[in-house]
Structure 1
């Protein structure tokens, strides 16, 4: 919650005014960006535009781009499995296809039972601790022990963690380096990175808070990276959004829906969701960590996109959809 002190704002004043109308005073550190055929606008409050936020599960969207890019490079195939790239042995998870992971239809659970998710959730709620600190070796151990259910639509953090690290192995590198070399570097994203430990945070990295305003530990972890461990500035998220709209981002085929996620109302590509919002197709993903909420949405037909990022664990989905609808409406005038 805002403590009553004035919040310093940066960037586009009109955009910030619109954002404040939508989010109120529950987001003292918040940023937004809009991209349209008319240009780009960026605004932030409580932190400068170059400060980095946790983007949470928008990281899955980045992994989706890397998956589509790896297919285009023929580093993987549509029938490739986890066991081809990760040392899992003969366990059931080894036979899971990367394609099924990319659309949350692998049969893997949201989290492995061996990670004690209930205990970690309680610790997060009580103490603000990071529930995802595993390194890659621990993740592989969990994967060797996990049961694989019937292939069906089921959102899986574990699945996207394994997918990202398998893509990295297919490219002969680490996930962190894969993000840097294939997304950040070609698109000129200077504040777009995947810290494995708190020590790897950039100086001045934002510390998020829960709904009560209590500081939360950063969500870092080597294993977590592909599913929720990327950090980025609003400026670089704006550049990424522009590249997704004009097709210059690697792996933009990931945006194209290929299957239903929860019935025909929600379709999924490689991580990216597509829904009908007031008779406009919106492609989007959101993110949430202990102290951050994020949303990125595209109206690809109109060439418009919006990003909203907050350093408070209060959803920004509705403000994101509302900003995108207004931006698209203005473009149509």
Structure 2
């Protein structure tokens, strides 16, 4: 049923968007890969699952992972100014983090008429022309998208790894994840990109564009199945790359953390470290990126949140620069797959009894007049506030001393939970983030 609905959604988007060719894929760790194509690839290649399309700015997510790899390898820190690692004539003060989050204030495009000429400057020219580039906003003032900033990040990662960006990407990301259908060049199986007339059904082939030194921001080509797998990796690297060969799950979680909102008036989407974040109902988030190049639109997003399938991502690639239905279709495919073919419900199995010194902590507690239930779940002490939404994660604690725990996730993450005992050694109260926690709904005076 889900596949039938998804196929119909693709056909509707292709027809209503008047997109010559659309290729889609849905990747789930618990289901076979689903791919579908409709339309014509243009002169030469036949449209199939191996047809390559332009990823456009989805490329930025690959560059972001390269940079985060460098951080994890100890080659740089995210709050380092980029000029500490890359010789630049100007703008070297911008931090790696701000560039990743598009909040550096650096101008959007490299100096010159890049998109008029359909060819980007080479790397040497790109870096030299930084002397003419502007900082259009103060750093960290607001989200301001910058292809120039991401081009610099790509060359930073390449320099730290001692190679060209495309070579480094192949060695450190594409090959380890088995993304053999993704490359910097279109190859012989590429679809033709078109500009579809607004006032007729004529579709004019768009000129080929080589990004040159801007390649880390927009150069990649590939298949829908490759980029759907990539989107699943962004959302759930533990399912796609269980050995953490490319990037650890913790680092990807850091990348998914919102650093800014894309529209400060309507908080409908955020931006992490190179990743677009699209909140959905029930605490679900779609994480990935959109892409646009002459003749092509792309969208690749993974889905993460409670009760979602593992390793879940979708990609939509279209051969029209005006077929904006691509951008909504990717979210519809994720929703249809999740709701019409939900993840299997795991079997509950009994667990071990809580440690003897933890058992007295379980049950009802109160703080500032509000109730909390402390429990032992999945081998850890947890707490959930009264009335917390069903899908809100509990606070999870880890022991750090005889009478001390650290809140490792959830409410008050990073704060200490301290046990307070009476003269007989019984725990009679606690302090959580310094606030008193008592067995009754009261306002106690706790001594040292």
TM (normalized to structure 1)? 0.84
After superposition, what is the alpha-carbon deviation per residue over 1:6-58, rounded to whole angstroms, capped at 9, x for unaligned? xxxxxx87743331123326122110011233232011233121121110010
Contact 1:57 1:228 in 2 (8 A): yes
- 1:277 matched to which residue of 2? 280
- 2:96 matched to which residue of 1? 98
Is the aligned partner of 1:32 residue 2:24? yes
SS of equivalent residue, structure 2 residue 213: coil
Contact 2:21 2:318 in 1 (8 A): yes
Contact 1:16 1:32 in 2 (8 A): no
Is the aligned partner of 1:139 residue 2:139? no
Note closer, same or farther for the CA distance 1:254–1:285 as it changes in structure 2 (3 Å cut). farther
Contact 2:14 2:21 in 1 (8 A): no
Is the aligned partner of 1:16 residue 2:4? no
Larger Rg: 2
Summarize the alignment of residues 101-120 of structure 1 with structure 2, pairs less than 5 Å apart. Answer: 101-112=99-110, 114-116=111-113, 120=115
Aligned length: 304
- 1:61 matched to which residue of 2? 61
After superposition, what is the alpha-carbon deviation per residue over 1:41-95, rounded to whole angstroms, capped at 9, x for unaligned? 0112331211211100101111111122221111111222222333214x2x111
Contact 2:234 2:287 in 1 (8 A): no
Q: Distance in 2 between matches of 1:50 and 1:158?
A: 31
Q: Distance in 1 between matches of 2:61 and 2:172?
A: 14
Note closer, same or farther for the CA distance 1:225–1:311 as it changes in structure 2 (3 Å cut). same
SS of equivalent residue, structure 1 residue 187: coil
- 1:203 matched to which residue of 2? 188
Q: Distance in 1 between matches of 2:130 and 2:339?
A: 46
Q: Distance in 2 between matches of 1:253 and 1:115?
A: 37
SS of equivalent residue, structure 1 residue 95: coil
SS of equivalent residue, structure 1 residue 186: coil
Q: Distance in 2 between matches of 1:240 and 1:160?
A: 19
After superposition, what is the alpha-carbon deviation per residue over 1:165-212, rounded to whole angstroms, capped at 9, x for unaligned? 1111111111111111111110111121124xxxxx412322200122
Contact 2:14 2:20 in 1 (8 A): no
Q: Distance in 2 between matches of 1:253 and 1:268?
A: 13
Contact 1:209 1:290 in 2 (8 A): yes
- 2:304 matched to which residue of 1? 300
Q: Distance in 2 between matches of 1:237 and 1:160?
A: 19
Greater strand content:
2
**Which of residues 138, 141, 155 is equivalent to 1:150?**
138
Contact 1:273 1:285 in 2 (8 A): yes
SS of equivalent residue, structure 1 residue 42: strand
- 1:183 matched to which residue of 2? 173
- 2:182 matched to which residue of 1? 192
Summarize the alignment of residues 69-108 of structure 1 with structure 2, pairs less than 5 Å apart. Answer: 69-89=69-89, 91=90, 93-108=91-106
Higher relative contact order (CA 8 A, sep 6+): 1
Contact 2:259 2:273 in 1 (8 A): no
- 1:317 matched to which residue of 2? 327
TM (normalized to structure 2)? 0.63
Q: CA RMSD in A?
A: 2.2
Note closer, same or farther for the CA distance 1:106–1:154 as it changes in structure 2 (3 Å cut). same
Q: Structure 2: 5+ residue runs without aligned partners?
A: 41-46, 198-202, 344-448
Q: Distance in 1 between matches of 2:254 and 2:191?
A: 29
Q: Distance in 1 between matches of 2:256 and 2:338?
A: 20
SS of equivalent residue, structure 2 residue 175: helix
Q: Structure 1: 5+ residue runs without aligned partners?
A: 1-11, 124-128, 196-200
